[in-house]
Structures are given as structure tokens and as C-alpha cells.
A = this chain, B = another copy of it.
């Protein structure tokens, strides 16, 4: 047992003593990673013969543990991203990690990857806004375009834009309110004489007696159809909002600096479609005036008006909470599919079980599906419910299973949302505002080893991650 077997390694001043064998392992690994020549550049030999590395001292015990055959574990006190950088330097790939720590490692970088999406989106929005702003300072058509566009789209850019935003929001609210209230009987009235004439057209003479005050008691006239029309002010509101939205969409189309993106935007397509529906309704009414007054609630044109409801999203699209929810849904696409699959399979099973249980309240399996879904979500309307012992058992199991199934998937989805939501608070703080400046200042303060951050071998789905972490 001679001391000469040992080599002292100083990691930023913290001394580690290792056997020569261990050192040769480490050295050969470093050479494999950085090349034989470059490896000797990585450390200095001090007077006393120590090998001096300017690395993180708390990470080296992990490296030691790995080369002394004690397995690669990630200490929980280190940020996985920092740990990843160090392991990279020492030439240890993450797939060497023990399973107990590896799932935490993978989880961390998965989370970072989804946060990346938010960051990219946020950055893209910021860049776009910046470009518009720059163009505004220019001259010519581009500048006009940018100026008008910032009024139309960037409520925070100037006072005019803010006013415009509130006006536009008011129109959206009025338009949706009109749609909603127009279906309620409070906002309907019976037809007047003129409208009845228009309604009946040539047949008006048949019904004439109703309107000229004749005695109706002894006639065998066909009864008046139950027809109602919107109150007049709703009609006027509709005309006004349609006009406004038409003008707006035309302006937005003309002044949009990114024409291509414009036509693939969901909200723009909704706007255009909603207007087309309105105009086609006017055309149809003009051709066949009778339709106008009929309770033709469910003809196709009428139903398509539902797209007007999507204009709601114009009000909330800039709200950070809403964007976070949207991205959570996107990031959890696979979990949402999983939940749907679970629910569909469970619905099929319990629906079939309930039907074959012999309970006659379930007229067919498709009918039983509705019951199963209502039970699994614990809504329990009570329109259908088991009435015999066997089906009650199926119902009880169905309810408990439903609660469990939903409880199983929702946390994954919710965790994504909470992660995104917590992360979205970072935007409010100063860090991202001057991100570029930060990068510069960092390098100005510590200009020593501005080597390229070597591309890390993360198990990341997209290579984008490397830029940020």
C-alpha cells in the first residue's frame, strides 16, 4: 500500500485523491470525448503535482462514483441542466445513469422541452411586435401598414390601439349577446300585418280574415302558424355589427404585414366564415322572404351562425392564462388522447354490460353509452338509471371506475398546466425583457473560456432545447 498509487485532483480547489487506475479510466474517457491532444489542455499540473480542473467541485463525487463502479446517480441538490453540462465535460453520457435517477432526468428535460414551446411562442410574438414597431418608424406603405396594423392588433402599443381594442371588444360582446338573446322569447315579437303578407305571399288571402277583424268563430280556416320574429332593435344591431366586422376584416386584410399567416389564423377564418354565413342568410332571405319569419331554427344557414361564438376568443386570446391553457392542451395532446381512449373503452364496456344485464331501461347499447358517460362523469341526470339488481351493480362499478379514470389522467394534464402557469410568471419579471443584453453582459464580465457550449446529448425530442438550457 504505497502512496504513489494515488493522484490528487483539485476541482476548483477541492482536493480529491484517487488511485492511478481510476485516473487512467477518467483520462481515457476524457480523451475519447475531447481528443487525446485537447485533453491535456483541460487541466493544469500544479507544482505539487496535483491536476487542477476549473469545474464544479460538487459534481466530481458523482464522476468518481461512476468510475469507481458505484453507478451514476444524479444528486437531487443539483439542477439537472447543470449536472448535464458537467457530465458532458467528463465524457459521461446520460444513458449510463441508473434507472432510479434516470426517470427524474428524463422528466426534467421533457418539462424543459414543453416550456420551450411557450418560450418560442412568446419570443415569436415579441419579435413580430418588434418588427412592426421598427417598420412604424420607417416610411412608405410599409410604415402605414405597420401603423394601422398596430392599432388593429396591438392594444398595448398606443392609446388609439387601446381605444380601438375596447370598441372592437364591445362589438364582439354585442354581437354574441344579440345572437344569444335573439333565441329567447323575451326578444321575440309576433309579426305585424306587412310581415304576415310577406310571410304568406300569395296565400295571404286565405288568412286575411285574421287581420281584417271578421268574426272567426264559425269559420273552418286553417289556424295561423306560430311564427315570431326578432325585436327590431336586434335586427338593427345585427346590421351594425355585420357592417363593423366587414369593414374590420377588410382593413385587417389590407393592412396585415404577414399576409400568409393571416389566412391560416383560426380567428381570421372564423371571422370570414361568420360574415359569409350572415351574407348568405341575407341572400337566402331575399330570394325566399317567407323563410325569414319561420322558426326554421335548424336549417343549415341558421346553425352556422354558431361560428360567431368563436369570436369570444378574440377577447381572451391575449390573456396569459388562456394562452397557458391552450399550450397545456397542446403539450398534453397525448394525455388527452389517452383519457379519451380510456373513457371510450370504459363507455363501450359498461354500456354493453348494462344492456346485457337485462335491464329494459337500456333500449339499445348506443342508448346505454349515454348512460355510461353520464354516470362516469358523475353528472347523473337521472333520465336513465338502472332499475334491477345486476344493472345497479354495473352502475356502481361504472361510477367508481369513472371517478378513478378521470382522476388518473387529469393530474398529468394539470401538472403540465401548473408547470406552464408557474413558468409564465417568469415573463412578468425582468429576465426575458433584456435577454439579449444579458447574454452580452455575461460574456463581458467573464471573457475567459468562451468556448462554444458543446452540443449536449440530451434525450430531447427537438434540438431546440440546447439553445436555452
Task: Tell yes or no: A19 within 8 A of B by CB.
Answer: yes
CB-CB under 8 A for A100 and B81, given A365-B183, A400-B377: yes
> Whole-angstrom distance between the alpha carbons of A97 and B365 in the complex?
58
Residues from chain B with a CB closer than 8 A to the CB of A309 are 348-349, 352
- Chain copies in complex: 4
What's the minimum C-beta distance from A31 to chain B, rounded to whole angstroms? 12
Task: Tell yes or no: A247 within 8 A of B by CB.
Answer: no
> Whole-angstrom distance between the alpha carbons of A14 and B8 in the complex?
11
The A interface is mostly helix, strand or loop, or mixed, namely: helix
CB-CB under 8 A for A355 and B183, given A106-B429, A378-B377, A446-B67: yes
Task: Tell yes or no: A112 within 8 A of B by CB.
Answer: yes
A339-358 interface (Cβ within 8 A of B): 339, 341-343, 345, 348-349, 351-353, 355-356, 358
Inter-chain contact A54/B76, CB cutoff 8 Å: no
Inter-chain contact A58/B61, CB cutoff 8 Å: yes
> Whole-angstrom distance between the alpha carbons of A334 and B324 in the complex?
14
Inter-chain contact B400/A69, CB cutoff 8 Å: no
The stretch among A202-210, A230-238, A278-286, A409-417 that forms the contact with chain B is: A409-417
Task: Tell yes or no: A267 within 8 A of B by CB.
Answer: no
Inter-chain contact A25/B383, CB cutoff 8 Å: no
Inter-chain contact B303/A316, CB cutoff 8 Å: no
A285-339 interface (Cβ within 8 A of B): 297-298, 302-303, 305-306, 309, 312-313, 316, 319, 321-322, 325, 328, 334, 338-339
CB-CB under 8 A for A410 and B413, given A65-B82, A70-B82, A100-B469: no
9 CB contacts below 8 A, A to B, read A12-B64, A13-B17, A95-B434, A184-B363, A298-B356, A316-B341, A380-B382, A408-B413, A412-B418
